Amino acid sequence: MVSKGVVYILVATLAFAFMNTLAKELTTFHSMQIVFFRAFGTFAFVFPYMLYRKVSIIGNNPKWLFLRGLVGVISLSTFFMVLQRIPLGSAISIRYLGPIFGAIFAFYFLKEKVKSLQWLSFAIAFAGVIVLKGFDVRIDFISLALILISAVFVGMVFVLIRYLSDKESYLTIINYFMVISMTVSLFFIGQWRMPVGTEWYPIMSIGVFGLVGQVFMTKAFEMEETSVLAPFKYMELVWALIMGFLFFGETYTWLPFMGILLIILGMIVNVYAKNRKEAV
């Protein structure tokens, strides 16, 4: 019998995959305009719910909450930029390096131990990136740099959320991210254009899918242990490869695909090493 937590994580990964597909589809829009609508679609639901539940808007650690929001918008905006430049599966694969950078940051700033097996997993994943970049001519160096920046900032997000998780409501953390994302996006409003006709559907849906993904992801981790759910998180890449093929005709020769598999192998080894560490 499949647990509710696993079902929820699968729904969450599918929702995020649709969100990423829509972001790639909207290539005629500035990436920061997409960031705005992604954030607004979540904010429109989360903020009223916070008022209803009387959840603190400001929070107890506004400086750290602001930093989490700023780091998050940098990661999201660079990710959306890259989605418009390279294949969907490649962008998501390389961004999976985020947990590696998160572990490194946690090692230095939170003094968390990193086992030798984890360092090996990092090497495997980075080798996958090298193989993927080396054999997929669609990935230029600017796109690689942008997606690596996104992954580094994802790692920072992980550490900041871990630091804030027992100090703030998850709704307060999410709301800061959305408000800061919308605020930063408005600095680029001169490069936006008004959606016309059916363009409104994907640009409004991107925020809804992002919200669904966040809600189901949060519920999944409330119901099930991280060690059980972590492998299912990689279904997001499976969905991305399927949608990249169906909607954009993206295919891979076997060498770039081996690079993607090495990245996933590195992440799975990292999860296994962390679970072993927690069990000791």
Does residue 146 have a pLDDT over 90?
A: yes
Least confident of 61-70, 212-221, 257-266: 212-221
Give the model confidence (pLDDT) of 131-142 as tens digits. Answer: 988 888 899 999
Radius of gyration (C-alpha) of the chain in whole angstroms: 18
Q: So what's the pLDDT on residue 244?
A: 92
Residue with tokens 């192998």: 265
* pLDDT > 70 fraction of the chain, expressed in percent and rounded: 94
Tally the domains of the chain.
1
Tell me the CA distances in angstroms from 108 to 103, 227, 267, 277, one per residue in order: 9, 23, 20, 18
**Domain span including residue 41:** 4-279
Cα 242 to Cα 276: distance, rounded to the nearest angstrom: 32
pLDDT tens profile 26-39: 988 999 999 999 99
